[in-house]
Amino acid sequence: MNFEFMDATLQRELACRLAPSDSARALATARAIDDAWYASQALAWVARFASDAEFSKIIQESLRVVRAEADPYRVVASAAWPIRAIVERNHLEMLPSIIPNLLVRAEDITILASRSEALFLIFQAVFPAGDKHWRPVLESLRQASTPLISWRQRRNLLNAVMIVRGEDEALALEITNSVDNLKLKRKIERTWATSEPAFPRRFFWTTDA
* Domain map (residue ranges) of the chain: 7-68, 72-203
75: which DSSP letter? H
How far apart are the C-alpha atoms of 12 and 61, rounded to whole Å? 15
How far apart are the C-alpha atoms of 76 and 111, rounded to whole Å? 13
Contact in structure between 112 and 153 (CB atoms under 8 Å) = yes
Tens-level pLDDT at each residue, the chain (209 residues): 545 546 899 999 999 999 999 999 999 999 999 999 999 999 999 999 999 999 999 999 999 999 998 999 999 999 999 999 999 999 999 999 999 999 999 999 999 999 999 999 999 999 999 999 999 999 999 999 999 999 999 999 999 999 999 999 999 999 999 999 999 999 999 999 999 999 999 999 875 44
Contact in structure between 81 and 37 (CB atoms under 8 Å) = no
pTM: 0.94
- 134 CB-near residues (< 8 Å, 6+ apart): 123, 126, 127
